[in-house]
A = this chain, B = another copy of it.
């Protein structure tokens, strides 16, 4: 990989002013970031907090190595899903007892979709939108299989969704911030639309939590899931979380009734009896080493003012959009998703016929973003560890790649299975 080398196209003075005025500028030091890299993919895998390695090492050496089985009690491993869930609750506008960390987003989607459908036997439609994050749609398909073909998935474009909710709609399942375009649903309005027709709503917060302000209870949301390894910096494949509003605690139950979701898991009785509250959405034994990394990432977020984080996210996005309008548009880069100033999530995406090759050229120069099929360049904007100068430099490098057509080099034409 070559080092970062292009000059910034903006006045260095004005960029420096933005960074000097950034109330989060010291937070960057809380992350281990490699030299020579501008990391614009923290929306896919969040960077490593410096505290995490020591936290995980302590869990391994002290709690596992020395404490052994005793640590289920003495180190409160058994309480990890509830403890981390309660912390995440503070980031999503929920009560501590309404959130639990467990399994993956996909598995948690299945639990909540089936729970919602089971509780409403007279309604048969799950409503979502085309090009929702694939696993959301796949898990709806999976959940519908469990009902023997009586139910159907209806996909409607974003601007028709509210009108498509009717008395047969059991559940509306939407990703709050779109994984490609950063479009953001109006959670309060859409939740109200669902409730007006008696439907439940399930929000996937995977691209929201840790990046934009969230107020699940303020919006009267029913159900939610979210990801631990993106903006929460919980590590690759970190445990996910789910939210069930307290008013649904006794009426909904998990279709995956494993021993950790039992009312008395250590009574070892043959009959399943669901635990009270969100505990019933646990299934198997929680992965404690992975929980240690997740909790470290979450703890860092709890030190932040999420309004300030969201403000910086918007400022980073606006700078990126403004710079690309000047330095990328002449080469065919087109903004995808919300225009400057509109509500959005914390990433920006652009369309170009050669996005794949351009992203390879960027990565080779230390600017790490994402290609998303078929033609999207996606850049994650993580307010905790990105500087405005990083954005300016990334766009300068992007401009150079476009101007010199460096992306045409043979080594950038080869497609990998995963990008």
Contacts and interface: CB of A to CB of B under 8 A. Distances in A.
A318 B363 CA distance: 60
Most buried by B among A137, A147, A289, A290: A289
Contacts of A73: 416-419
Give this chain's copy count.
2
Interface in A22-52: 32-34, 37, 39, 41, 44-45, 47-48, 52
Given A66-B34, A270-B130, A373-B266, A141 B257 contact: yes
A151 to B, nearest CB: 12
A267 interface: yes
Contact of A293 (B60, B69, B258): B60
B32 A61 contact: yes
A300 to B, nearest CB: 15
Interface stretch (A8-16, A236-244, A398-406): A236-244
A269 B147 CA distance: 23
Contacts of A258: 104, 106-107, 135, 138-139, 142
Interface in A80-138: 103-107, 110, 114, 130-135, 137-138
A270 B66 contact: no
A199 to B, nearest CB: 21
Given A60-B52, A137-B272, A286 B418 contact: no
User: How extensive is the interface on chain A, given as a class?
Assistant: 35 or more
B103 A135 contact: no
Contacts of A77: 236-237
Interface in A46-77: 47-48, 52-53, 56-57, 60-61, 63-66, 68-73, 77
B272 A235 contact: no
A17 interface: no
Contacts of A107: 103, 107, 256, 258, 283-284
Contacts of A410: none
Interface in A132-185: 132-135, 137-139, 141-142, 145-148, 155, 180
Nearest to A417: B266
Contacts of A68: 34, 37, 39, 41, 45, 47, 368
Contact of A259 (B37, B70, B138, B146): B138
Interface string A343-379: 0000000000000000000010000101011000000
Interface in A208-232: 229
A413 interface: no
B53 A266 contact: no
A34 B373 contact: no
A337 interface: no
Contacts of A417: 73, 78, 266
A372 B53 contact: no
Contact of A134 (B238, B239, B268, B288): B268
23 contacts: A39-B68, A41-B68, A48-B61, A48-B64, A56-B289, A70-B363, A72-B418, A73-B419, A107-B283, A110-B256, A132-B270, A134-B259, A134-B262, A134-B265, A141-B272, A142-B255, A146-B255, A148-B148, A239-B287, A240-B284, A266-B418, A266-B419, A289-B293
The 7 closest A-B pairs by CB, nearest first: A104-B284, A106-B258, A106-B284, A135-B259, A236-B288, A237-B287, A48-B65
